Chains A and B, each alone.
Chain A
Amino acid sequence: MIRVIKLNKSFNGKQILENISVTFETGKTNLIIGRSGSGKTVLLKSIVGLHEIDSGEIWYEDILFNKLDFAGKKKIRKEMGMLFQGSALFDSLTVEQNVRFPLDMFTDNSLEEKIERVNFCLKRVDIINANKLFPSELSGGMKKRVAIARAIALNPKYLFCDEPNSGLDPITAILIDALIKELTEEYSMTTIVNTHDMNSVMEIGEEIIFISDGVKCWEGNKNDILNSDCGTLNDFVFANSLAKKLRALNK
């Protein structure tokens, strides 16, 4: 479980996140949704410690993460996996070397054991016969899958996904969403997903928070989201004409 309490973050005097408090449950796919520029990525990067926060608390179970020193954070980070918006695979390494990277860094396993684990993770995300390919030779969807395989290589307790299906076609996007949900349940991880894709919200949104202009405006699940009273949330959810028609029909 991850708890965020009264988090504030600003860049060069400009307030980006204001008084955000939220709890992300273990074994669930927790979604942070909002428009582009609303502060979702800053919130996610603040939670994982890539951004220093101005004030507030970030708790991983009973450990106050934001007050830890580099060594303390490093310990927690070994239990994190993160999928970045652009996949962030290492260009100079092959698929196999990318997934093996955290294993090389933090385990004393033999090469055979590490390759076995790599193959297991790649198979788990449906990547077969691509071990020797470089990231530049992969499609967008494959890159995301390899990045997920790398993120789960060390059996993390926490999985963070920043816009996991941006730039993907709707079918691949649904497959990636389904994979994230499956892995979350399978390994009982605390998963946090940043997205502005309503398909993802309706597919995997077990716990959802909506952020607008750096402020948490709404909290609930995918069943509540269509019946919310929050005006900014409704503008976001029913932004496209298809959604508007469906709401009109529903009424």
Chain B
Amino acid sequence: MIKFLTQFGRYFLLLKKVFSKPEKPVLYYKQTLRELVYLGLNSVGIIAIISFFMGAVITLQTAYNTENPIYPKYLIGLGCRDSMILEFSSTIAALILAGKVGSNIASEIGTMRVTEQIDAMEIMGVNSASYLILPKMIATLIFNPVLTLIAIIVGIFGGGIAGTLAGVITTENFIYGIQYAFIPYYIVYSLIKTVFFAFIITSVSAFQGYFVNGGSLEVGRASTKAVVYSSVLILLFNVILTQLLLS
């Protein structure tokens, strides 16, 4: 329990350091642009691929579970749309990003710690926590909602393609379904969740990397911990945010 509270305290002290006034805002701006490419743009491919197939599978599963003629066919499109918007685009994409981006952040910062690069920054008088973590945080907070929107669009597109090719629904029915009883707030809900998840992924992973002690083995462990803790927190906050935003 004491260990948990100590870690909890260290996490918030690190956040305090991260959000302190930057030495040279222009350098942070450049660093943020770099992170937007590394952590954001470079994740578009994997998010698009996974969303496409998720959309396809949701459509096919919905179709095979609603074969009864009393269910109108357009429900397949509606099911795909709502599943993608409410859960898959934000939560599942966040879990994937926790694996990709989270491990990347923890191992990058962890390696910098064990090779004394962070000490070198501190010696120069640079606030290493802020310089290394804040741009990553801003980049993911900006870009993860974009990734969520991409996931929604590609997922629904994948669902439409799979449904049509498998012959379980016509294109017209699918398009009618994705337009039927559309609630725009669901997108807002999804984006709010994404912003929270982006913060969790970046801060938890950076925390794991920043306090690594030892060598390459410990960096590997920190990277694994970053993914596990981020994923658990994402699932926990998914429940809390759903209750708060949809109740």
One digit per residue, 1 when the CB lies within 8 angstroms of any chain B CB and 0 when it does not, for chain A 30-54 equals: 0000000000000001001110000
Which chain A residues numbered 57 to 94 have a C-beta less than 8 Å away from chain B? Answer: 73-75, 77-78, 80-82, 84-86, 88-91
A85 to B112, CA, bound (A): 14
A85 to B119, CA, bound (A): 12
Query: Chain B residues near A74 (CB, 8 Å)?
Result: 125
Query: Chain A residues near B116 (CB, 8 Å)?
Result: 84-86, 88
Residue B188 at the chain A interface, CB threshold 8 Å: no
Residue A134 at the chain B interface, CB threshold 8 Å: no
One digit per residue, 1 when the CB lies within 8 angstroms of any chain A CB and 0 when it does not, for chain B 84-119 equals: 000000000000000000000000000110011101
A86-B116, A90-B117, A91-B117 known; A50 vs B122 contact (CB < 8 Å): yes
Residue A248 at the chain B interface, CB threshold 8 Å: no
* Cross-chain contact of B125 among A85, A91, A104, A106 (Cβ < 8 A): A106
A102 to B24, CA, bound (A): 11
A74 to B122, CA, bound (A): 8
Query: Chain A residues near B122 (CB, 8 Å)?
Result: 49-50, 77
> Which B residue sits closest to A81, measured CB to CB?
B123
* Cross-chain contact of A80 among B24, B27, B123 (Cβ < 8 A): B123
Contact yes or no, B27 A77, CB < 8 A? no
Contact yes or no, B123 A105, CB < 8 A? no
One digit per residue, 1 when the CB lies within 8 angstroms of any chain A CB and 0 when it does not, for chain B 24-38 equals: 100100000000000
Residue A218 at the chain B interface, CB threshold 8 Å: no
Q: How far is the CB of A76 from chain B (nearest CB, A)?
A: 8
* Cross-chain contact of B123 among A50, A75, A86 (Cβ < 8 A): A50
Residue A238 at the chain B interface, CB threshold 8 Å: no
Contact yes or no, B23 A106, CB < 8 A? yes
Contact yes or no, A82 B120, CB < 8 A? yes
- Chain B contact residues, majority secondary structure: helix
Contact yes or no, B119 A88, CB < 8 A? yes
A86 to B118, CA, bound (A): 12
Residue A236 at the chain B interface, CB threshold 8 Å: no
Residue B217 at the chain A interface, CB threshold 8 Å: no
A48 to B126, CA, bound (A): 14
Query: Chain B residues near A91 (CB, 8 Å)?
Result: 111-112, 115, 117
* Cross-chain contact of B24 among A73, A84, A105 (Cβ < 8 A): A105
A105-B23, A105-B24, A106-B23 known; A84 vs B119 contact (CB < 8 Å): yes
Contact yes or no, B124 A50, CB < 8 A? no
A85-B116, A91-B117 known; A48 vs B123 contact (CB < 8 Å): yes
5 new A-B pairs (CB below 8 Å) besides A48-B123, A88-B115? A49-B122, A50-B123, A89-B117, A91-B112, A105-B124
17 A-B pairs (CB sep. < 8 Å): A49-B122, A50-B122, A74-B125, A75-B125, A77-B122, A77-B124, A80-B123, A84-B120, A88-B115, A88-B117, A91-B117, A102-B124, A105-B23, A105-B24, A105-B27, A105-B125, A106-B23
